Amino acid sequence: MLKNFSKYLIAISFYVGLAATAVSHTYFFGLSDLTANPKTNRIEIVHQFTSHDIENAIAELKQIHFSAEHKQYDLFVQQYFEQRFSLIKHNQEIPLNWLGFEVSSGKIIAYQESYQQNFLEQIVVKNTILTDTYPKQVNTVNFQGKDLQGKALFGSIMFDERTKEAIILLE
């Protein structure tokens, strides 16, 4: 009887460990899209990150239990993005308007836009979202718009724990 019980205990432990491995992940990535909209003269920004990674980072930063039920959830998520993502042109930060966010399929999708700025060329992008919490975090910023001469400008920039900022240049 004791022998059978230990076999079941080992089997249960194995399956619990397997389930825990399936729930956690070993890769950490985020995606941000910058689009220069010539109709509105604004840069539109969409961020996509794993929601529990953002929640864990905020919990660690603020030393609190943090989840979607927290009374300041919206405010803390907004502050987190605003403090870790910025655009700079001519050594001045471009003001970004926070439009909001949604949580869908385990992702936080956040929206921002600039005021009166629609050219991406020579903009410095600063992105430290999750890179101080997860050493393996890699953030990709895709951009598309037009340069000052009206030619298409598009590409991607990668950020990690070593690369905190980069400049959008013509290729």
- Going by C-beta distance under 8 Å and a sequence separation of 6 or more, which residues neighbour residue 142? 31, 32, 33, 34, 154, 155, 156
State how far Cα 133 lies from the chain centre.
Answer: 12
Residue 22 and residue 81: Cα distance in Å, rounded? 28
Query: Are 31 and 143 in contact, with CB atoms under 8 Å apart?
Result: no
Residue 111 and residue 113: Cα distance in Å, rounded? 7
Q: What is the pLDDT of residue 14?
A: 41
Residue 128 and residue 141: Cα distance in Å, rounded? 12
Residue 83 and residue 45: Cα distance in Å, rounded? 15
Query: Are 120 and 143 in contact, with CB atoms under 8 Å apart?
Result: yes
pLDDT means over runs of 10, the chain (171 residues): 46 41 65 93 96 97 95 98 96 96 97 85 95 95 86 92 91 61
CA atoms within 13 A on the CB side of 6: 3
63: left (phi over 0), alpha (psi -120 to 50) or beta: left
Please list the helix, strand and coil fractions of the chain in percent, rounded to the nearest 5, in that order: 25, 40, 35
Q: What is the pLDDT of residue 23?
A: 47
- Going by C-beta distance under 8 Å and a sequence separation of 6 or more, which residues neighbour residue 21? none
Q: What is the pLDDT of residue 163?
A: 95
